[in-house]
Amino acid sequence: MHHVVIESWSRGASLLHARDARVKVIVLLAFLIALATTPRLTPAACACYAALAIAGILLGRLPLGPLLLRAAIVLPFSATFAAFSLIVGDAPRAAGLLVKSYLSAAAVLVLVGTTPLAKLLRGLESLGAPRLLTLVVQFLYRYLFVISEQAQHMRLAALCRGSGPRPLHFRAAAGAIAVLFARSYQRAEGIHQAMLARGFAGHTQLLSSTRIGLRDLLFLVAGLSLVLALRASLGVLWNP
Amino acid sequence: MEPLIEVRGLRFRYDDGTLALDGVDFQLFPGETVALFGRNGSGKTTFVHHLNGLLAGEGFVSVCGLRVERRNLLAIRRKIGLVFQDSDEQLFMPSVLEDVTFGPLNRGLDTTAAIETARHALRDVGLEALAGRAPYHLSAGEKKRVALAGILAMEPEILVLDEPTTFLDPPAQRDLAALLRRLPQAKLVVTHDARFARALARRAVFFEKGRIVADGPVGEIVERFQWVPGTTSGGEAGIQPAE
């Protein structure tokens, strides 16, 4: 499972792991905005952005090959839009879409691969992300493990009753999804009761974020300078 | 002596029409540990969910002198800690420390005091070293102890444990029994495990069809209802060993 692997990466130790989540989020946002607003992605520009992303992977001591492979998960989606550009005869735009989406996914993976989710969500919240949103993500992530485990058990149970190694038949799969949904609903009720039992009164208080240190500030300045310098050298917005 | 928990004539019917509690009377006194026995669906869990207002039926329920009703619920939930059967439902925060601080923060403690309380509770259950771990990376026994720490951090006067030995291997059950024996709070333990109940409690009650049909020493209740899955040297009825 992707989230298990990325979760194990995020518990590593490196220069990037040690940085405050907020400064990493800001540098990532700057990178994404710079990449998205680069008007024409020349091979040289591509190489520069890719070099930044790879520098992030190496600084975070993340496995290069597996990360680059996982970043490809966005390609089927962006390829759909790239296909439209190709149809109207704009091949450079199609290529730009693919490269931009792929490098963006790689950069996001560098962030989530070097920041445990709890710290990331806390960082996002202190940067102004709505608490409701971060709570929903937190619960979703927490129970992904439980629900995927239940799904695995159900698949094994189906195999034990002779469904064979091939994928479940449509009806059985539909039934399994329905049961999974009902169980998830039931579990959500249980979780809510457990929250009430510990004094939950409608809003969750989280532990406050840690302080941003000098090294974090240095990383922020260096990261933003690099991204801005690169973007500035690639021309003004919308200028062909 | 004033009872910590007093229940009189408690009745509860689920939305589907099932009568889950049919006139329950019960008292728990300070320092006592009581085991709740009964077959699946006999009303034990429904009963304990009434003690902190998760469910509301007809009848009288009071905890530490406070009647269980809407305006007292927050105060009551600080006094009575419920450890759920499925620890996954109780451990919903992304790290062990954050989960254990959930209750203290709800009690209004500031972050420093909440962390201090949580670390103390984790020390009590012997898991301070796991404070930074994610709950889904823990074993069943560790999850149960973290769930218990989350309740202890609320500093309750009463502990209610719903099937605490579920998913635990025998060594983990033994550790849990030893840990619970050290805790000074009055306890209600919903369990099917007669041996575990004997290790913790002197008194037991037996639920049947939503009523308490017997109340007495654990040994007597176990014997009267033949509440033993395995055979013992005493020749009690139970599952026979394979030939």
Asked if residue A102 and residue A145 are part of one domain, the reply reads: no
Q: Do residue B106 and residue A200 have CB atoms under 8 angstroms apart?
A: yes
A224 interfaces chain B, CB cutoff of 8 Å: no
How far is residue B22's CA from residue A177's CA, in Å, rounded to a whole number? 36
Q: Which two tokens stand for residue A32?
A: 């994404």
Asked if residue A120 and residue A30 are part of one domain, the reply reads: yes
Chain B residue at shortest CA distance from A203? B106
Model confidence pLDDT, tens digit, residues A97-129:
999 999 999 999 999 999 988 888 888 988 998
Q: Do residue A199 and residue B52 have CB atoms under 8 angstroms apart?
A: no
Chain B residue at shortest CA distance from A144? B136
Looking at the structure of chain A, the number of domains it has is: 2
Model confidence pLDDT, tens digit, residues B184-197:
999 999 999 999 99
DSSP A125: H
How far is residue A202's CA from residue B126's CA, in Å, rounded to a whole number? 31
Q: Which two tokens stand for residue A144?
A: 């992904």
Query: Does a structural domain hold residue A239?
Result: no
Model confidence pLDDT, tens digit, residues B2-55:
899 999 999 999 998 999 999 999 999 999 999 999 999 999 999 999 999 999
Whether B139 and B133 have beta carbons less than 8 Å apart is answered as no
Nearest CA-CA distance, residue A200 and chain B, Å: 6
Q: Do residue B106 and residue A205 have CB atoms under 8 angstroms apart?
A: yes
Q: What pLDDT sits at residue B233? A: 43
Range of the domain at A186: 130-197
Asked if residue A95 and residue A44 are part of one domain, the reply reads: yes
Asked if residue A30 and residue A97 are part of one domain, the reply reads: yes
Total count of residues recorded for chain B: 243
Q: Does domain B5-224 have CATH number 3.40.50.620?
A: no
Residue B232: pLDDT over 60: no
Asked if residue A162 and residue A70 are part of one domain, the reply reads: no
When pLDDT is averaged across residues A178-206 and rounded to a whole number, the result is: 82
Confidence of residue A135 (pLDDT cuts 50, 70, 90): confident
A4 interfaces chain B, CB cutoff of 8 Å: no
Query: Does a structural domain hold residue A204?
Result: no
3-state secondary structure (DSSP) of residue B13: strand
Asked if residue A182 and residue A105 are part of one domain, the reply reads: no
Query: Does a structural domain hold residue A157?
Result: yes
In whole angstroms, how far apart are CA B122 and each of A154, B105, B132, B138, B139?
Answer: 34, 16, 11, 14, 15
**Chain B residues bordering chain A (beta-carbon distance below 8 Å):** 49, 52, 54, 74, 77-78, 81-82, 84, 86, 88-90, 92-95, 97-98, 101-103, 105-107, 111, 114-115, 134-136, 150-151, 154
Q: Which two tokens stand for residue A148?
A: 């995927």
Asked if residue A216 and residue A107 are part of one domain, the reply reads: yes
Asked if residue A119 and residue A37 are part of one domain, the reply reads: yes
Residue A161: pLDDT over 80: no
Residue B37 φ then ψ, to 5°:
-105, 165
**Domain spans of chain B?**
5-224
